[in-house]
Amino acid sequence: METQNKIRIAIQTKGRLNEDSIKMLEEAGIYLVKGKRQLVSSAKNFPLEVLFLRDDDIPQTVADGMADIGIVGLNEVMEKKEEVDIIQYLGFSKCRLSLAIPKSESYEDVSYFSGKKIATSYPVILKDFLKEKNIDAEIHEISGSVEIAPGIGLADAIFDIVSSGSTLVSNRLKEVEVVTPSEAVLVATPGLSDEKKALLEEMLFRIESAERAKGKKYILLNAPEEKVEEISNMLPGMKSPTVMPLAEEGWVSLHSVIDENVFWEIIGKLKAAGAQGILSIPIEKMIM
Ligand code: ATP
Ligand code: MG
């Protein structure tokens, strides 16, 4: 009998969320046992069970408590209106839900949509938006290939996910209203037991430590002693940089953690100030 406490997570079987969800768990040091095509899996080194589902089914599965937590697009959470707690915004699968119309149409404001037929896979979010804007339009629900609807005369406009906008362009459409941004979120069943809450906290702690390290570099450089202050001021590190004497008289080694972007911005200035042997090392985890 399995008596050990476990937490169960629902993630997408395949699709845009799947890989990044698994990657996020791995960055948190949680590795899944079986291939991702299995319906149920578990983690090798964490009391975690994994349920692979279509993203449409994740909000309800979590709301019902069949899964304790889940990774799903905010768009699906908003559409399904299931009772789940949004625990964390995860920063991947970023997109937006927008209204788009044929490129050739002229557009002034949202009143354009009065009396129009709008194709979408997100009727609930669209209905809420139209109601808020006091627009009476016809919603035509279709489950896929929404973007071709205007071209084949099935609708006047669409309401769909947009990220780069290239799908719109290739279907001669233009985005005219952004209704809501979306990204992957970690959701949880309301009222988790204390044991499961503790496991969730542990996962969040690990995820945040890996997240914090992203884009950060550990910088080492050698500098003449009299330049330490000038160079330190260029390095907006976590705390003041570590300064260590070198065997060569008058020289020190400086260590600090900085944003990769900042590194590229200040590299010229560092060299001009006399820094030598500059090393930039990736950081895996950062615990504050
Ligand atoms: P399923 O078979 O699981 O129902 P699906 O076809 O409904 O999958 P996907 O296309 O895999 O869904 O997209 C999953 C989620 O990824 C979307 O709900 C949305 O949150 C996000 N997403 C979709 N398209 C994009 C995009 N172009 N860029 C970024 N994120 C996106
Ligand atoms: Mg889906």
pLDDT (tens digit per residue) in 24-61: 999 999 999 876 567 899 999 999 999 999 999 999 99
Which ligand 1 atom is at minimum distance from the Cα of 56? 4
The closest alpha carbon to 57, from 144, 181, 187, belongs to: 187
Q: Is the CB of 117 under 6 A from ligand 1?
A: no
Which ligand 1 atom is at minimum distance from the Cα of 182? 20
Residue with CA nearest ligand 1 atom 21: 93
- pTM here is 0.88
Distance (angstroms) between ligand 1 centre and the Cα of 76 equals 9
Distance (angstroms) between ligand 2 centre and the Cα of 10 equals 14
Q: Is the CB of 181 under 6 A from ligand 1?
A: no
Ligand closest to 97 (CA) is 1
Q: What is the CATH number of the domain that holds 59?
A: 3.40.190.10
Q: Which amino acid is at 29?
A: G
Give the three-state DSSP class for 238. Answer: coil
Compute the C-alpha angle 255/257/260, nearest 5°.
120
Q: Is the CB of 93 under 6 A from ligand 1?
A: yes
Among the candidates 164, 194, 212, a domain finishes at: 212
| Residue that the structure tokens 């910088």 belong to | 219
Ligand closest to 73 (CA) is 1
Residues 200, 225: one domain? no
Residue 288 belongs to some domain of the structure? no
The closest alpha carbon to 30, from 40, 20, 45, 42, belongs to: 45
Residue 287 belongs to some domain of the structure? no
Pull the structure tokens for residue 115. 């009396």
Residues 202, 192: one domain? yes
pLDDT recorded at residue 261: 87
Compute the distance between CA of residue 17 and CA of residue 56 in angstroms, rounded to an integer: 12
Q: What is the CATH number of the domain that holds 223?
A: 3.30.70.120
Residue with CA nearest ligand 1 atom 16: 16
Compute the distance between CA of residue 269 and CA of residue 158 in angstroms, rounded to an integer: 50
Positions in the chain whose pLDDT score sits under 50: 1-3
Helix %, strand %, coil % of the chain (to 5): 30, 30, 35
Residues 100, 158: one domain? yes
Distance (angstroms) between ligand 1 centre and the Cα of 25 equals 19
pLDDT recorded at residue 2: 47
Q: Is the CB of 15 under 6 A from ligand 1?
A: yes
pLDDT recorded at residue 149: 97
Residue 169 belongs to some domain of the structure? yes
Q: Is the CB of 56 under 6 A from ligand 1?
A: yes
Pull the structure tokens for residue 17. 């969320």
Contact between residue 43 and residue 31 where contact means Cβ atoms under 8 Å apart: yes
Residues 40, 165: one domain? no
Residue 268 belongs to some domain of the structure? yes
| Residues of the domain holding 274 | 215-282
Compute the distance between CA of residue 14 and CA of residue 19 in angstroms, rounded to an integer: 8
Residues 256, 203: one domain? no
Domain count along the chain: 3
Residue 153 belongs to some domain of the structure? yes
Residue 104 belongs to some domain of the structure? yes
Q: Is the CB of 95 under 6 A from ligand 1?
A: yes
Compute the distance between CA of residue 76 and CA of residue 122 in angstroms, rounded to an integer: 8
pLDDT recorded at residue 287: 87
Residues 230, 196: one domain? no
pLDDT recorded at residue 4: 64
Residues 220, 246: one domain? yes
Q: Is the CB of 59 under 6 A from ligand 1?
A: no
Residues 43, 165: one domain? no
Residue of 95, 124, 179, 185 with the most ligand 1 atoms within 8 Å of its CB, for mutation:
95
Residues 201, 67: one domain? yes
